[in-house]
Structure 1
Amino acid sequence: MGYGLGVFLLALGLILVFAVNDTQIGSVEVPTLGWILALAGVLIIVLTAVQMNRSRRSTAVTTHADGSRTVSERRDDVPPTV
């Protein structure tokens, strides 16, 4: 999965919505199927971006004996491997 699948579903959905002239094939409405595929593509793209960003950041909270807390945040700016 990833950006490729998301872009593919988005493109396929938009083609079905805007480029196909038939409104119904059998009992399936083509524009509705196109919108569903397009939304699924957008959702996959967003989830992939969130997952890649989340994997590069970590936060640690340390509680001291006196009750105070120290928050340290670490972010690796290494690009993800493809």
Structure 2
Amino acid sequence: MSLGTGIVLFVIGAILAFAVHVQVAWVSLTVVGYILMVAGAVGIILGIVLITTRRRQTVVQHDYVDPASGERVRRSTTDRPGDPYV
């Protein structure tokens, strides 16, 4: 669930909980609104956590011996989990 989806769920839940005054016999729209607001808040929190963890970088260094020259070679790779452009 993304940050935008959480915000949309929260807004729809708030509208159902506080602005709609329609009585339906088989469901309470106020309770449905509160449930959507809780789900939206969880989605917002998860979206923020996912955004902050994407910015972490992992640097891995490997030492190799070049078979042709016998020289020691150090390779460094940077990995950004969740970043589609790397």
Name the TM tier (shorter chain): 0.5 to 0.7
Corresponding residue for 1:66? none
* TM-score under structure 2 length normalisation: 0.61
Larger Rg: 2
Residue 56 of structure 2 is aligned to residue 57 of structure 1: yes
Residue 14 of structure 2 is aligned to residue 32 of structure 1: no
The answer on whether the counterparts of 2:17 and 2:30 sit within 8 Å (CA) in structure 1 is: yes
Corresponding residue for 1:3? 3
- Residues paired across the two proteins, number: 63
- CA deviation map 1:8-52 (0-9, x unaligned): 100000000110112x41311110000000110111011011011
* Amino acid of the structure 1 residue aligned with 2:52: N
Q: Which structure 2 segments of 5+ residues have no match? A: 60-79
Corresponding residue for 1:14? 14
Q: Distance in 1 between matches of 2:58 and 2:25?
A: 53
Q: Aligned-pair distance for 1:4?
A: 1.5
RMSD between superposed Cα atoms in Å: 2.6
Q: Which structure 1 segments of 5+ residues have no match? A: 61-75
Q: Distance in 2 between matches of 1:38 and 1:12?
A: 8
Q: Distance in 2 between matches of 1:3 and 1:55?
A: 14
Q: Aligned-pair distance for 1:55?
A: 1.9
* Amino acid of the structure 2 residue aligned with 1:49: I
Percent identity for Structure 1 against Structure 2? 38
Q: Distance in 2 between matches of 1:11 and 1:52?
A: 21
